[in-house]
Chains A and B, each alone.
Chain A
Amino acid sequence: MSEAHLGTPLVLGTPVAEFEPRPPRRVGGYRPDTAVDGWSGGTFAARAASVRGYQHRHDGTPRQDDFAVSWHEGTGAVVAAVADGVSSVELAHLGATLACRSATDQLLRVLDAGEEPDWPEVMRCAGWALVEFAAAQAGDDDPSARAERLLSTTLLVALVRPRADGSAHAEMCRVGDSTGWVFDAGTWTRLTQESPGIAEVATVALPHLPRDLRAESVDLPAGSVLLLGTDGVGAALGDGAGLVGAAFAEALGTPPPPLEFARLLDFSRETFDDDRTLLGVWSGLGR
């Protein structure tokens, strides 16, 4: 048996069965198992990681989650996005990447122009990026239908702007089941509620837009962290109570080194084997 390991995961409760990950099927280009980013800009620090779920590692499926995060120097703002490509479509991973990057690029252009974001327009542009990409793929269906068939993805986008007192203000808009949290002074606040009852698998996804699409707004005290996560994180973290919330709370009070952030996200916990993406923006640093 091979001694090769990606590293020992952090175990929370009962671990997932041990196995060596299979290489992802090569569809639509190269896709690394894990993506990590981290930096500080102005009064913010950002950390982000996207890890392939244990089920996808076991099956040889590419990571279908992704993120994008950038700093806008002119305004000191952070633009951030997380996305979860819909597994049943062939290029879900590319859909997630396209949606994150086009939404954050769009927000940066809005900030460059000194304008306020038109959130439905930002989401429509992200959806249209899928349509344009789909139009270049094989198929004789309408490009929008092809985008839905090949590239469907959820998307959660945030614009975080600093205030003079070190606090910050975030606007967020989402299509689908990703979640935001604020972790402040040891307390979790989940920004979206889940419905009780039978757990649902289906989610709204781009290139579809909810008709009642709106941005949500949240104040971020200095020292707090805004976290954006895909449902692979949301299912495990919930409202922050429990083992996962405790482990995150212990590690995320201040921005950890990016690779530690990724290792935290890659925790092993039985039955939690979906792809996971988590993006944190800490406010009021370096003051």
Chain B
Amino acid sequence: MAENLGNVLPVYVVADESGSMAPVVGELNAGLAELHRALLREPMAAAKVRFTILGFSVDVQTRLSLADLRTEAALPVLSTRSSTNYGAAFEALLSQIPTDVAALKEQGYAVYRPAVFFLTDGQPTDEPAWRDSYNRLVDRETTPAAPNIIACGIGGARARTILDVATRPEFAFVATPGVELGLAIAEFSVALTKSIVASARAVAADKTELVVERPSSFVMAVDVV
């Protein structure tokens, strides 16, 4: 590597644009606008996030791609179309995420594990076909840049399905569309960017040992407080 131009976190909002979203799509758009405002209040986090919005139905439409939200006047508007094809969404991410990560790295950025916010109100209409795409997306062997997926179920979404989509149980939410959902996504994104400087402990129990016995040469001579 030559120079690290910056530390970036790609964030993908993948929103259900199926017909059943019609009653809530207005609130969802209000939520995106609030997300935008909330992220701008966190200048350090906003500088690191590259924001993509994908609307999925029978196919996937890119509403925004790797945007720096500080330079966007407003976020694009989601619409409603036809069915709820999860497979189309995960296939789009499978091709988009590695391409985006490679492009950002090529530009000289250090890229942190992407985050996907998956927003849906309904059961997939392509059960169980979507699971194959999903499994390839989240498998770090197949997809080295496999994202963390935060799943937000809206309205009629079943909890079981939302849990299946989230990559960790604590990443599964049942949400009310609107301002609160936007704030929740903003908060989550900010927390993720902060985790970049958080130097978490690696869980590698097979490669490390915990110091549990006093070493023979130990002398406590430090006074820190």
Check B44–A203 contact: CB distance below 8 A.
no
- Looking at B51-59, B76-84, B126-134, B211-219, the stretch in contact with chain A turns out to be B211-219
Q: Is B201 part of the contact surface with A, judged by Cβ < 8 Å?
A: yes
Q: How far is the CA of A243 from the CA of B101 in the complex (A)?
A: 23
Q: How far is the CA of A98 from the CA of B221 in the complex (A)?
A: 10
CB distance from A213 to the nearest CB of B (A): 9
- B209 contact set on A, CB distance < 8 A: 208-209, 211
Classify chain B's interface size: 35 or more
Q: How far is the CA of A147 from the CA of B213 in the complex (A)?
A: 13
Q: How far is the CA of A116 from the CA of B208 in the complex (A)?
A: 24
Check B145–A88 contact: CB distance below 8 A.
no
Q: How far is the CA of A238 from the CA of B221 in the complex (A)?
A: 35
Classify chain A's interface size: 35 or more
**Residue of B43, B213, B215 with most partner-chain A CB within 10 A:** B215
Residue of B nearest to A123 (CB): B211
Check B215–A124 contact: CB distance below 8 A.
yes
| Cβ contact of A19, chosen from B43, B199, B208, cutoff 8 A | B43
Check B197–A55 contact: CB distance below 8 A.
yes
Check A235–B7 contact: CB distance below 8 A.
yes
Check B44–A201 contact: CB distance below 8 A.
no
Check A131–B3 contact: CB distance below 8 A.
no
Q: Is B48 part of the contact surface with A, judged by Cβ < 8 Å?
A: yes
| Cβ contact of B195, chosen from A29, A201, A242, A244, cutoff 8 A | A201
Q: Is A245 part of the contact surface with B, judged by Cβ < 8 Å?
A: yes
Check B110–A128 contact: CB distance below 8 A.
no
- Known contacts A98-B224, A106-B219, A272-B6; can you find 14 more A-B pairs with CB under 8 A? A87-B200, A109-B219, A124-B211, A128-B215, A131-B214, A132-B214, A201-B199, A202-B202, A203-B199, A205-B199, A207-B211, A208-B209, A209-B210, A242-B3
A-B CB proximity, top 6 nearest: A242-B3, A17-B43, A127-B211, A202-B202, A271-B6, A87-B198
